[in-house]
Amino acid sequence: MELFSAPFLALVGCWALNAVWPLVSQSGLRTYPPLVFTEAAFILGFLFLVPAMIRRREWKSFLSLKASLHFLAIAIFYGTPCFLYIAALAYTTPSSAGVVAEIEVLYSMVLSAWLLRESIGWRQAAASVMVVLGTGLILAHDSGTSRWKGDMMIAASAWMYQVSHVLVKRLPAEVSPTTITGGRLFYQSAIFLIPVCGWMILRPAQAAWSWPGVGCAFVEGAGVIGVAGVFWYAAIRKIDLAKCTAFILSYPALTMLLSWFLGRESISTAQISGLAVTLAGAAWLSWLMMPAGSASLRVELSEDAARMTP
């Protein structure tokens, strides 16, 4: 049955880890500024994956001149919106951030059809519009408040994730999900190193050692960015990118539930309404995904992704 195939289960695992991303990130911002926390997460995530890459003798595969340029582009287009998402949580709430990020499904549909030649039917387009409408409800509700700045930071940069995913889809088939994630984190860490060093020199007090902050950065880097990245790349190698994106962007349902349960925020009617519309669109797209991917969904998840299962 397709629902229990390895790529789809990897997608579900990534969905669950993404749900805690806004909560962990916001916790980390209590100790460190966004730039420092993001860089710490990138470095710790890379170090977490190093043993697996050494064991499989893959750690050199992203350091050649030809591969480095490709991975550098992936890192730029993934690392930049990742940093902006984390920085936005200083202004907006985890629930609003998660729902607004679902605008990515529109970018996914357009870029997948244009660059990957994936077929986008009218049902998929209609379901994607529902996701966008749900995002619009949140933006309209937060307009004129302090949340607006954070919401717009996320909405304006989400398209970069899709460019990164398209570049990943163009990597050779033998490049494993672990190598893709590890290589991306290596170059993301390198890109942000100089700005972070400058920040630490100018404001050393804001970069002081803190076990709670380091713990949040480790969970963010190893789990939310590292393991989730392995799961994500294992899934998009076997399932259409637009459909994977549409499914995984239903994660704000769990984020909202966890945020309310932990007492982080009180959920508004606009948030619930926006989430309901986006979930309806994501559920429709997930249903459309099953028959279209029936052949590829039987392919087993790569050995390295299975090892990284938490």
Backbone angles phi, psi at 292, to 5 degrees: -70, -30
Backbone angles phi, psi at 285, to 5 degrees: -65, -35
What is residue 62's three-state secondary structure? coil
Taking the C-alpha atoms of residue 227 and residue 230, their distance in angstroms, rounded to an integer, is: 5
| Range in 7-21, 25-39, 137-151, 294-308 the model is least confident about | 294-308
DSSP string, 139-192: HHHHTTSTHHHHHHHHHHHTHHHHHHHHHHHTS-TTS-HHHHHHHHHHHHHHHH
177 or 306, greater pLDDT: 177
Q: What is the pLDDT of residues 99-144, one digit of tens each?
A: 788 777 777 667 667 765 666 677 777 777 777 777 777 767 667 7
Q: Which two tokens stand for residue 98?
A: 């998660």
Global pTM value: 0.80
Q: Which two tokens stand for residue 81?
A: 């919106």
Among residues 122, 94, 97, the alpha carbon closest in space to that of 109 is found at: 122
